[in-house]
């Protein structure tokens, strides 16, 4: 997984997010709470919703 980028992730941005030890899912940011820095991500594989801290995510390009 690429190193996290220390800039705020934006809505609709494609991200990799941590789902377990050395395991990652990929999806799109649906929303970000600026006060708590929590993200809501729509998984691109199965359509599930992941909610968690932004520091468990990093931006990835659309081509990955």
pLDDT per position as a tens digit, 28-51: 999 999 889 899 999 999 999 999
- How many H-runs (helices) and E-runs (strands) does the chain carry? 0, 5
Which comes out higher in pLDDT, residue 61 or 19? 19
- Three-state secondary-structure class, residue 47: coil
- Three-state secondary-structure class, residue 17: strand
- The domain locations on the chain are 14-59
Looking at residue 8, what is its pLDDT? Answer: 65
14-59 architecture in CATH?
Answer: Roll (2.30)
């Amino acid at each position: 997984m690429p190193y996290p980028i220390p800039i705020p992730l934006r809505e609709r941005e494609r991200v990799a997010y941590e789902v377990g030890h050395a395991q990652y899912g990929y999806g799109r940011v649906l929303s970000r709470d600026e006060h708590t820095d929590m993200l809501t991500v729509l998984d691109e594989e199965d359509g599930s919703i992941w909610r968690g801290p932004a520091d468990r995510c990093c931006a990835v390009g659309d081509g990955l």
